[in-house]
């Protein structure tokens, strides 16, 4: 299925496909593994898929696909060594699946300016793909947040560990605050949003709900618009490396907490079980979906891809 998507005010322009962005705030959660295997799920259905390693400065998506580090990368495009994004797109050897590898160690690429970022996003809309999957870097840099925001589908990957969960909450808040800041022209309101992005802000604002209430007192119209943005912001959630039913339930807890304190209604689309087949596939530099297609993690990925496409929640029937 190809989804129609026009200019939605984020500078992306017209694109007859879908962009998915996979983030999460913390490194080591398996974002690249999830991205590569989601891409394979889609390509197996006959869809043209482009994977983009948007971890500027720390590319590793090629390793998940078992390909060598390419001679041309995203840094060559950003530095204008090549004229088109198509010049840095390589064939992965997997039918219907292409890759744009990120920069490994070029510091300036990791800190691209606005013009460079907009040029990259515009060029991506010229690629003839049904799906473009962006594998984002760790942290909450503006580059990472902006890549997440231009996507039709924002996916957050979390592991059942306190640090990963804490970083996920921080990432969700940062993305949402960045979204609000981009849609308002009022300088005073923008300064308030910038201030509350620091969790130690003097206003004592800790959640999007508190921020919106504060803004509504200052400007009711802007406050109302922000409330509408909350309803539009519906990121997807994947829990990776689960071992127990309790690990799976963390996804439901995160969803509940985000709704209660942030006002954000996440969609918990599934989990990936921890299994030795994953690290064995990683050591062999092969996607686990291809190396162990009948494994439990492979089945988990197939269900997740289906749920994302159909915009469905995790089905209790498939819980351990």
The distance between the two most distant Cα atoms of the chain, rounded to a whole number of Å, is 57
User: For tokens 């159909």, what's the residue?
Assistant: 310
Arithmetic mean of pLDDT, 149-155: 93
**pLDDT band for position 153 (cuts 50, 70, 90):** very high
Q: Which domains does the chain have, with CATH numbers?
A: 18-160+235-318 (3.40.50.300), 174-230 (no CATH)
**Residue 10 pLDDT:** 44
| Per-residue confidence (pLDDT) for residue 5, from 0 to 100 | 35
Residues with Cβ within 8 Å of residue 267, at least 6 apart in sequence: 234, 235, 236, 237, 255, 307, 311, 312, 313
For residue 152, pLDDT beyond 70: yes
pTM more than 0.85: yes
For position 137, what pLDDT does the model report? 83
The 10s digit of each residue's pLDDT in 158-217 is: 999 999 999 999 999 999 999 999 899 999 999 999 999 888 889 999 899 999 999 999
Confidence of residue 320 (pLDDT cuts 50, 70, 90): low
Please give the pLDDT value at position 282.
Answer: 86
pLDDT higher than 90, residue 220: yes
198-to-68, 106, 111, 203 alpha-carbon distances in Å: 40, 28, 20, 10
Confidence of residue 103 (pLDDT cuts 50, 70, 90): low
What pLDDT is recorded for position 14? 53
Q: Write down the pLDDT at residue 139.
A: 81
Angle at 102 between CA 8 and CA 95, to 5 degrees: 80
Is 1's pLDDT higher than 50?
Answer: no
More confident residue, 239 or 72: 239
């Amino acid at each position: 299925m190809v989804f129609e998507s026009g200019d939605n005010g984020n500078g992306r322009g017209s694109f007859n496909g879908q962009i998915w962005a996979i983030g999460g705030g913390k490194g080591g959660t398996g974002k690249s593994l999830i991205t590569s295997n989601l891409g394979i799920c889609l390509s197996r259905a006959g869809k043209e898929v482009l994977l983009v390693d948007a971890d500027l400065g720390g590319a590793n998506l090629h390793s998940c696909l078992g390909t060598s580090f390419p001679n041309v990368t995203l840094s060559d495009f950003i530095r204008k060594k090549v004229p088109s994004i198509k010049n840095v797109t390589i064939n992965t050897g997997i039918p219907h699946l292409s890759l744009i590898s990120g920069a490994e160690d070029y510091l300036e690429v990791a800190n691209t300016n606005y013009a460079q970022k907009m040029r990259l996003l515009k060029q991506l809309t010229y690629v003839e793909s049904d799906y473009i999957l962006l594998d984002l870097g760790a942290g909450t840099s503006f580059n990472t947040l902006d890549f997440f925001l231009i996507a039709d589908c924002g996916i957050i990957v979390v592991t059942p560990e306190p640090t990963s969960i804490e970083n996920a909450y921080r990432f969700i808040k940062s993305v949402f605050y960045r979204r609000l800041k981009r849609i308002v022209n009022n300088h005073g309101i923008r300064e308030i949003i910038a201030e509350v992005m620091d969790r130690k802000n003097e206003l004592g604002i800790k959640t999007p709900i508190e921020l919106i209430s504060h803004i509504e007192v200052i400007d009711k119209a802007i406050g109302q618009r922000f409330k509408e943005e909350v309803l539009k912001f519906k990121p997807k959630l994947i829990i990776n490396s689960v071992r127990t039913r309790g690990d799976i339930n963390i996804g439901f807890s995160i969803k509940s907490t985000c709704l209660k304190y942030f006002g954000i209604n996440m969609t918990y689309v599934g989990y990936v079980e921890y299994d030795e087949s994953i690290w064995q596939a990683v050591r062999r530099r092969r996607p686990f979906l291809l190396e162990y297609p009948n494994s439990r993690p492979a089945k988990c990925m197939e269900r997740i891809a289906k749920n994302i496409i159909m915009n469905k929640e995790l089905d209790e029937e498939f819980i351990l």
